Chain A
């Protein structure tokens, strides 16, 4: 039991929260980066290898395209259906192989990325499927290579829904990062369990909830505004006006 009236209680709380937030942001940030690097191409290949897709016949073989599509579909479905707590434990040997340990924030990045990659890949897949096939034809008629179609048409045109998908992804990574904390991953989840639960400090618990809530809110607002900015459905002047409002909301944490 922690005594809130102790003289060093608030500075201790602040210290613990700071370290926890830092660890959480580190875990979430790095796994998000890995998620984008792996999930984006994965999503593109998932759409592309479908029948009639851009990569339906890699190296001239439709069979190869179909196999690639089936295998990736399977992996994505598997990754998304296994409950995170099980995945995390099941991945321990793999984590140890990659990072050298399975304890601490760096080790937590591995299961976080593994769970987020298929999730984000699906988001990318959905976003890219929404792109009008007429745009692909227009690019083809201009003599574009497949890579140019991906880089100049598909990804830029799907950017807005992909950013929204990314924000959903990052919210679940934050969610899972708290769970990782319970198995000695560190971060805000670890703070909530060790202080809030095991040592009955309601103040710690509430503080953690507030910090996580603020992080999620800020990221969500950022994503919404970026998505709107890239959508160009409204006049760009309006998006321009929305930016200062975003800066304010970041500062005040609203």
Chain B
């Protein structure tokens, strides 16, 4: 649905040159929620703004729903943007318009007539749970409500893609969850493809099907979350299940086991103890529900060297678990 190919963007201000994006490529499949995570200054904001060409890349191509945006004339680009809704960190609502007026903005731009516009706006406001606030002004709303208006505005023109530029970063944790649930609901009910950027791992955990890690203007790692968690050495997986620093335990082998899907509810540790007579100690564990499935990572200390523990480790691997030896 969204294809970004070899996009680079450099900013020059005064004497300093900043390479915000360096040869970035990513593919977002239809109907999925794709999260780009990175710290501030990593280039994620430039990346999402390049998708609807609010920021035109220096090189590379951006294709959304079959339209190669980077090749379109200004008028065609405006038409193509109507298929791409966008929500912003600071909501960007017009203060002088009511909630309904804000939602109608996009429809006015397309040229929908007054009556149809009003009906559509109320329908969408109902969807985001703000039907009773149609006549209120943004100044009277809470942050979460403002973002719901932002989402309603983005959805009014029935886009195929929703871009979310740190939509929950200005919100408290509880409101963040409710907004994320709303995004998930829209994704499921309307089949909307969502590309979001965030600096919060929780956002990725809660709603994303796929994720990319961006750092210094480059994509370090990307893929579907289910496959990322079973990829050895994945930084995203490590950040999804933070286990902290590896302790130094002389004479022991420290292993990280990642479970996902079927292996998650198996009594692994008991099995190890029973079959191999090992005194397994648990150093840490993180369990999350990702994409509706239990997934987790456990750090265990097995007595003896890695070579000595070769049999139990290969046994675990044969059960479909990812086992990484992180210390011995």
The interface stretch among A33-41, A78-86, A225-233 is A225-233
Interface size on A, residues (CB 8 A): 26
- Are B96's CB and A141's CB within 8 A? no
| Residue among A138, A141, A145, A152 having the largest count of chain B Cβ atoms under 10 Å | A141
- Are A157's CB and B94's CB within 8 A? yes
For residue A145, which residues in chain B have a CB less than 8 angstroms away from its CB?
A: 78, 109
- Are B109's CB and A134's CB within 8 A? no
For residue A143, which residues in chain B have a CB less than 8 angstroms away from its CB?
A: 78-82, 106, 109-110, 157
For residue B106, which residues in chain A have a CB less than 8 angstroms away from its CB?
A: 142-143
- Are B97's CB and A156's CB within 8 A? yes
Judge if B253 is at the interface, Cβ distance under 8 Å: no
Judge if A144 is at the interface, Cβ distance under 8 Å: yes
- Are A134's CB and B92's CB within 8 A? yes
Per the 8 Å Cβ criterion, residues 218-248 of A in contact with B are 230-236
Per the 8 Å Cβ criterion, residues 49-92 of B in contact with A are 49, 52, 54, 78-82, 84-86, 88, 90, 92
Judge if B228 is at the interface, Cβ distance under 8 Å: no
Known: A141-B52, A152-B108. A230 touches B96 (CB 8 A): yes
For residue A153, which residues in chain B have a CB less than 8 angstroms away from its CB?
A: 94
Closest residue of chain A to B106, judged by CB? A142
Closest residue of chain B to A135, judged by CB? B92
For residue A138, which residues in chain B have a CB less than 8 angstroms away from its CB?
A: 86, 88, 92-93, 153
Proximity bits, B132-161, A CB within 8 Å = 1, else 0: 000001111000000000000110010000
Smallest CB separation, A117 vs chain B (Å): 25
Judge if B105 is at the interface, Cβ distance under 8 Å: yes
- Are B94's CB and A156's CB within 8 A? yes
- Are B88's CB and A134's CB within 8 A? yes
- Are A152's CB and B109's CB within 8 A? yes
Smallest CB separation, A65 vs chain B (Å): 16
The CA-CA distance from A230 to B82 in the complex, in Å, is: 29
Closest residue of chain B to A60, judged by CB? B74
Judge if B319 is at the interface, Cβ distance under 8 Å: no
For residue A157, which residues in chain B have a CB less than 8 angstroms away from its CB?
A: 94-96
For residue A144, which residues in chain B have a CB less than 8 angstroms away from its CB?
A: 78, 109
Known: A141-B52, A152-B109. A231 touches B95 (CB 8 A): yes
For residue B140, which residues in chain A have a CB less than 8 angstroms away from its CB?
A: 235
- Are A148's CB and B137's CB within 8 A? no
Smallest CB separation, B261 vs chain A (Å): 38
For residue A92, which residues in chain B have a CB less than 8 angstroms away from its CB?
A: none
Proximity bits, B148-187, A CB within 8 Å = 1, else 0: 0000011001000001000000000000000000000000
The CA-CA distance from A148 to B81 in the complex, in Å, is: 15
Closest residue of chain A to B102, judged by CB? A138
Judge if A159 is at the interface, Cβ distance under 8 Å: yes
The CA-CA distance from A95 to B154 in the complex, in Å, is: 52
Per the 8 Å Cβ criterion, residues 96-145 of A in contact with B are 132, 134-135, 137-145
Closest residue of chain A to B135, judged by CB? A236
For residue B95, which residues in chain A have a CB less than 8 angstroms away from its CB?
A: 157, 231-233
The CA-CA distance from A138 to B154 in the complex, in Å, is: 9
- Are B82's CB and A135's CB within 8 A? no
For residue B52, which residues in chain A have a CB less than 8 angstroms away from its CB?
A: 141
For residue B54, which residues in chain A have a CB less than 8 angstroms away from its CB?
A: 137, 140-141
- Are B137's CB and A232's CB within 8 A? yes
Closest residue of chain A to B86, judged by CB? A141
Could you list 12 further interchain pairs (A-B, Cβ under 8 angstroms) beyond the known A138-B93, A140-B54, A231-B96?
Answer: A132-B90, A137-B54, A138-B92, A138-B153, A141-B154, A143-B110, A145-B109, A153-B94, A157-B96, A159-B96, A235-B137, A235-B140
**Would you list 10 pairs from A and B whose C-beta atoms are within 8 A, ordered by A residue?**
A132-B90, A138-B86, A141-B84, A142-B82, A143-B82, A143-B110, A153-B94, A156-B96, A231-B96, A235-B139
Q: Could you tell me which A residues sit within 8 Å of B by CB distance?
A: 132, 134-135, 137-145, 148, 152-153, 156-157, 159-160, 230-236
